[in-house]
Amino acid sequence: MGYDLDYKQKIFPGMSDNEVSEVIGKIVQVAREEASNGKKIQITEESLNEYGIEGLDPNYLHMIQISTEQI
């Protein structure tokens, strides 16, 4: 998972580095689970609500990139 560091405070408003890491960990966990079921996760406000992930600014979700491809 990646995001533009210049937009960190816009994507994760008011979050500490630890809080950002926790949210990223939750997203990665969900992405892995979905990938193991043959699905891809789309980062949208609705999908975050569905997975119980909070704190991200919905106006900047398009700046988050997730790849579930194995290297």
Instruction: Reply yes or no on whether the pLDDT at 5 is more than 80.
Output: no
Supply the DSSP string of the chain, one letter for each residue: -B--GGGHHHHSTT--HHHHHHHHHHHHHHHHHHHHTT------HHHHHHHT-----GGGGGG-B------
Question: Mean per-residue pLDDT for 2-6?
Answer: 76
Locate the domains of the chain by residue range: 5-63
Instruction: Specify the pLDDT at position 13.
Output: 94
Instruction: Specify the pLDDT at position 40.
Output: 81
Task: Choose among 1, 7, 2: nearest CA to 59.
Answer: 7
Of the pLDDT bands very low, low, confident and very high (cuts 50, 70, 90), residue 68 is low
pLDDT in tens, 13-62: 999 999 999 999 998 888 888 888 888 878 889 989 999 999 999 999 88
d(C-alpha 65, C-alpha 31), whole Å: 11
pTM for this predicted structure: 0.77
